[in-house]
A and B are shown apart, each in its own frame.
Chain A
Amino acid sequence: MRVDRKIAWFVLLGLVTVCMCAQLLAPANYAKQFREAPNASPSKHFLLGTDDLGRDRFSRLLYGGRVSLLLAPAAALLSTCLAAGLGTIAGYAGGMLARIIMGTVDLFLSLPWFFLLITVRATLPLDVSPMTSVTVTFALLGFLGWAASARVVYAGVRALRTSDFITTARACGCLRWRTLAVHIMPNLKPILWAQFLVSIPAFILAEANLTMLGLGVAEPLPSWGSLLRELENYDNLSSQPWRLAPLVLLMLVVWGFQALLSHDEVMA
């Protein structure tokens, strides 16, 4: 394994572990307001200071990380499953079904993803509970992010379908569903794994963008996107560099997922 991949695994596992243990490690609840200490600088009590409502930034960073690191892979899994299902059906069945599915893929790909995302998100209720907003946001990412992956899976299945070992399997009387389950799907694993890994950082960034535009996770539930909204007050950043912590962590995580992809997968 390459050194950068080892480092990426180490960083990601460390961050995931820390964020998942937010309840144990965070000094306070993410919504608790220390009204006597708004905008406090880092101290023994508040490791990253407090925001303008007196909420502990470090606690919010951990809870926000938990939201992003738990739900982005879940959304990526959803989109990869959709892509795997639809791409495989289109690639294996061919004919009219393939044309319909690939036409839908083209339709999704003809619109810039972010444009589609904000259109759909804005048409859903915005004044909902924080838990609903977070679920809606990540579910949307999963449901709308499958098209590009489906095209890759489709190409992979088409290539496999015409390969010699599949022809031999069919000639030996292997049933269509068995060929699909036993011979084609296992060979799609590397493609699906790569698509899953590509989707996670894309979804983390999309959530951050959506939330910064006011269409993502609702307050007081923190996510990395909502923590980045604090940086809107750009003037004080040089005197308060600790406010950049969510950005640094987000960049680290996105880099980590990108580094996990092997060189060949990036080239593909």
Chain B
Amino acid sequence: MLIVLGGGILCATLVRFSPGFGIDERELDSRLNSASIAAIRDSHSSNRSLPKFYAKYLRDMLRGQLGMSETFQRPISELMRERSKVSLRSLVLALPGAWVLVLAGAILITAVRNRGLDVFSSLLVGALMATPAAMVALWAAGTGRGTGIALVLILVPVLYRYTRNILERNFRRMHVMAARARGIGTPSLLIWHVLPTAAPQLIGLVAISISMAFGALIPVEFICDSPGIGQLALQAALGRDLPLLVTLTMVVTVVTFLANTAADAVNDVMTPVSA
């Protein structure tokens, strides 16, 4: 809870003290008289005092009101509902897709132990990891592939590397070596000895992958012109839209926190209590 509130206040502070904060383009309109300009300035005055803004923001949030976006001139709750649907659609395709590819690849490479296959996978993953996410998004946009495919290509190399290392480390454990020495086949070894011990780390990685996917959404949705949360975040940042940015920061922090807490809870359930 403290981290979520801290994230919100960190973001609010950064935006409040950024150059150009509170400047309204309408002030440059020569047709407006001084009274109108003063009225426009007054409309931003509630955001000028950071403690007042944050207290009011939290009070409204508890009542279920997230305020108005200054960039879009629309209620934030409406924007979030609309945009999160688009992002969720991409994530629902990308995250399970990436994990299926990662697990299949990592299990295959670790179990088969073929040098050629290992080198090939390392080269492929290395090449994908060395490609900027924005470049992958550009390719997806240019070739008409969806945001989901771009996200999969961004997530797979990083997740694969961690997953492979986790599986490899577990394959080298003493009890696995002992089981192998007793003639237990690779599939049984994997199912009964490697995967159960690797599960807590893999579940932790699943939680991290959600946060990673949120980060990857920003360049992907912006470049692919997909109206989701990632694009909204960049537009809010460029427009110095304080209420929208604080809401987005809190949403992202809450999602990360919930994912990590869920991973911890699953691990607690799976780990047998020692006597």
List the interface of chain A (C-beta within 8 A of B). Answer: 103, 106-107, 110-115, 118-125, 201, 205, 208-209, 212-213, 225, 228, 231-232, 234-235, 247, 250-255, 258-259, 266-267
Contact pick for A235, options B7, B142, B214, B257, CB 8 Å = B142
Give the interface segment out of B33-41, B81-89, B231-239. Answer: B231-239
Q: How far is the CA of A121 from the CA of B165 in the complex (A)?
A: 34
**CB-based contact A255/B252 at 8 Å:** no
Query: Which segment of B13-21, B103-111, B191-199 sits at the interface?
Result: B13-21
Could you tell me if B215 and A266 are in contact, using CB atoms closer than 8 angstroms? no
- Measured in the bound complex, the distance between the Cα atoms of B130 and A197 in whole Å is 14
Residues from chain B with a CB closer than 8 A to the CB of A115 are 214-215, 218, 233, 248-249, 252
Whether the Cβ atoms of A122 and B143 lie closer than 8 Å is: no
**Closest partner residue, chain B, to A256 (CB atom):** B130
Given contacts A103-B3, A106-B3, A119-B249, contact A251 B130 (CB under 8 A): yes
Cβ contact within 8 Å between B219 and A110: no
Determine whether the beta carbon of B131 is less than 8 Å from that of A251: yes
B2 within 8 A of A: yes
Report yes or no: B219 in contact with A114, Cβ–Cβ below 8 A: yes
Number of interface residues of B (CB under 8 A): 53
State the Cβ distance, B20 to closest chain A Cβ, in Å. Answer: 7
**Given B14, B19, B165, B169, which contacts A119 in the complex, CB threshold below 8 Å?**
B14
B156 at the A interface (CB under 8 A): no
Given A118-B218, A123-B14, A266-B165, check contact A111 B130 (CB 8 Å): no
Chain B contacts for A205, CB-based, 8 A: 130, 132-133
Complex Cα distance, B216 from A246, in Å, reads: 22
Q: Which residues of A contact B215 (CB under 8 A)?
A: 112-115
Indicate if B138 sits at the interface (CB-CB under 8 A).
Answer: yes
- Chain A positions within 8 Å of B249 at CB level: 111, 115, 119
Given contacts A110-B7, A114-B215, A251-B127, 7 further A-B contacts (CB under 8 A): A118-B218, A119-B11, A124-B18, A201-B130, A213-B218, A225-B132, A259-B126
Interface centre among B2, B233, B248 (most CB of A within 10 A): B233
